Amino acid sequence: MSSRRGFLRNILAGAGAFASTKLLSAKEIPMPGDQPRKNPVGKREIHEPEGPPPPVETLDIPNLPFRMDGGVKEFHLIAEPVKRQIVPFKMMDVWGYNGSCPGPTIQANQGDRVRIVFENHLPESTTVHWHGLEIPIAMDGLPYVTQKPVPPGGRFVYEFTLHQEGTYFYHSHGAMQEMMGMIGMFILHPEKPYQPRVDHDYGVILQEWAILPNNTIPNTANMEFNWLTFNGVSAPATTPLIARLGSRVRIRIVNLGMDHHPMHLHGNQFVVTGTEAGRSPESTWRRENTVLVGVAQARDLEFDAKYPGDWMLHCHLPHHMMNSMSDLLQNAAVVEDRMIMTTATNDSQALSQMQTLANSVPFQHVHHAPIAENANDVLGFPQDAFMDMGMDEAVAKPETHGLPRNWSANMMGMMTLVRVLPPEKYDEIMDLKRRGVIDQPAPSEHHHHEDHDHH
């Protein structure tokens, strides 16, 4: 019980750290589109545009603060080892920037002069490449070709003018370092606000990792990946994207890994309004609900949030909709060569497996979904039967407020919820966020599975 409290405290401390980062950046980063707004291309059906466009929110990742030096926006970017809790029961030792993996989001405006003072706190040399930016060759971050590698303890000053707009990213130009997590988003807000205006603007970085049981360090040479993340966390630890009913939503998705990810949104159609090369002309927008985000690509999606509900956004590759359960099996006699296989083939095995996990991490869980009496007589069983792993309490945050009990049981891998909420529900969550209140799901009775009886 005390360890559970400690765990919640850690979560709270983490949330506080993120909150303060957000406050800092909110103060330091001017809102895009300061210029007066014209009412554009006719009337929107469901809402009237008002105010400047919102800043981009890369949930679970802070913004990189800056200071003004004359007319130059100066950022400090530090490459360093980072500990990242991917889900409540799994920690990763990865590399990133400024204590975050992926690195903090850089937001600037089209036309800005920026200086990025880069320091290398890694045990090996590195550089920073600005993916898609049209900048002088000396700033391109290609080791030996455009600059000397930045040695451990060394620094390099990148400085350039941004004439583009859109969704970009920065990354190390070493293949293994990329797979250790060294990427961050770089948002260029347009001089003239995009039309139509959006009310919510979210950023998501897709990554994948190969981490063996009882290990915390990604195997960067591996070709099979057992952990798939949005902004450095796997579902159900991913923070839901919150949207007010009747608003327009943009989601910017960037992919750096070994696989392409078909990203699917439930219950809505969106249009792809931009790529890694910036905004696309409206004549090219087409309706889709699944968009392939290839390696090194960015895709901006927009849709009108007119259907209330908790709509899932996820990679549709089946293996990217799982978390490695092999960590569960550390005490089991058999670990199959399929890293994601469960060794449980019946009720009591599955329940004791769940109890093992529940004991190792202080979270409340519930039982798996019902199975047939003769399940074990059916060839192929089990498939999804024992994958359910509810952990509502351990991943609770303001954005999960009001989700149905055990919502987290089927959330795994590259997955999150887009919660389209009526105004009063939306305001309630915004209020919880402002006050930094962690939502606590209704408690249910504690028990051990040894005492479990069927119901």
Burial of 453 (0-12, 13-18, 19+ CB in 10 A): exposed
Per-residue binding string, Cu ion, 88-127, x by CB under 5 A, is ----------------------------------------
- For residue 224, the minimal CB distance to Cu ion (Å) is 13
Count of residues making up the chain:
455
β-strand pairing of 290-293 with 241-244: unpaired
Taking CB under 5 A as the binding criterion, the range among 215-223, 242-250, 316-324, 432-440 that sits at the site for Cu ion is 316-324
Q: Judged by CB under 5 A, does residue 314 bind Cu ion?
A: no
- For residue 155, the minimal CB distance to Cu ion (Å) is 36
Q: Judged by CB under 5 A, does residue 84 bind Cu ion?
A: no
Per-residue binding string, Cu ion, 253-272, x by CB under 5 A, is --------x-----------
Taking CB under 5 A as the binding criterion, the range among 58-66, 92-100, 106-114, 312-320 that sits at the site for Cu ion is 312-320
- For residue 347, the minimal CB distance to Cu ion (Å) is 31
Burial of 444 (0-12, 13-18, 19+ CB in 10 A): middle
Pick between residue 120 and residue 255 the one whose CB is nearest to Cu ion: 255
**Which of positions 426-455 make contact with Cu ion (CB under 5 A)?**
none
Q: Judged by CB under 5 A, does residue 317 bind Cu ion?
A: yes
- For residue 450, the minimal CB distance to Cu ion (Å) is 38
- For residue 204, the minimal CB distance to Cu ion (Å) is 12
- For residue 327, the minimal CB distance to Cu ion (Å) is 20
Q: Report yes or no: 115 and 158 within 8 Å, Cβ to Cβ.
A: yes
Taking CB under 5 A as the binding criterion, the range among 29-37, 217-225, 318-326, 395-403 that sits at the site for Cu ion is 318-326
Q: Judged by CB under 5 A, does residue 315 bind Cu ion?
A: yes
Pick between residue 82 and residue 253 the one whose CB is nearest to Cu ion: 253
Hunting for tokens 């309706």 — which residue is that?
A: 287
Instruction: State the DSSP H helix or E strand holding residue 253, giving kind and residue range, or none if neither.
Output: strand 248-255
Q: Is the bond preceding 32 in cis, omega lying within 30 degrees of 0?
A: no
Contacts of 3 (CB under 8 A, 6+ apart): 362
Taking CB under 5 A as the binding criterion, the range among 125-133, 137-145, 310-318, 335-343 that sits at the site for Cu ion is 310-318
Q: Report yes or no: 300 and 270 within 8 Å, Cβ to Cβ.
A: no
The one-letter code for the residue type at 362 is: P
- For residue 366, the minimal CB distance to Cu ion (Å) is 27
- For residue 391, the minimal CB distance to Cu ion (Å) is 22
Residue 182 DSSP SS3: coil
Per-residue binding string, Cu ion, 342-361, x by CB under 5 A, is --------------------
- For residue 178, the minimal CB distance to Cu ion (Å) is 17
Q: Judged by CB under 5 A, does residue 320 bind Cu ion?
A: yes
**Which of positions 136-195 make contact with Cu ion (CB under 5 A)?**
none
309-315 sheet: strands from edge to edge: 241-244, 415-421, 309-315, 261-265, 290-293
**Which of positions 52-81 make contact with Cu ion (CB under 5 A)?**
none
Taking CB under 5 A as the binding criterion, the range among 113-121, 211-219, 319-327, 427-435 that sits at the site for Cu ion is 319-327
Q: How many residues bind Cu ion (CB under 5 A)?
A: 4
DSSP secondary-structure letter at 434? H
Pick between residue 180 and residue 315 the one whose CB is nearest to Cu ion: 315
Alpha helices (H) in 323-446, listed in sequence order: 347-360, 423-435
- For residue 62, the minimal CB distance to Cu ion (Å) is 25
The one-letter code for the residue type at 434 is: R
Query: Read out DSSP for 97-156?
Result: ETTBSSEEEEEEETT-EEEEEEEE-SSS-B--EEET----GGGS--BTTTBPPBPTT-EE
β-strand pairing of 166-171 with 183-189: antiparallel
| Conformational region of residue 258, where left means phi above 0, alpha means psi within -120 to 50, and beta covers everything else | alpha
Q: Report yes or no: 225 and 257 within 8 Å, Cβ to Cβ.
A: yes
Q: Report yes or no: 262 and 245 within 8 Å, Cβ to Cβ.
A: no
Q: How far is CA 437 from CA 4, 33, 396, 429, in A?
A: 17, 31, 10, 9
Pick between residue 169 and residue 230 the one whose CB is nearest to Cu ion: 230
N-to-C CA span, the chain: 27
Taking CB under 5 A as the binding criterion, the range among 65-73, 264-272, 308-316, 420-428 that sits at the site for Cu ion is 308-316
Pick between residue 317 and residue 332 the one whose CB is nearest to Cu ion: 317
- For residue 400, the minimal CB distance to Cu ion (Å) is 23
Pick between residue 15 and residue 317 the one whose CB is nearest to Cu ion: 317
Q: Assign 3-state DSSP to the chain and report helix, strand, coil percentages, each to 5.
A: 20, 30, 50
Pick between residue 114 and residue 325 the one whose CB is nearest to Cu ion: 325
Site of interaction with Cu ion (CB under 5 A):
261, 315, 317, 320
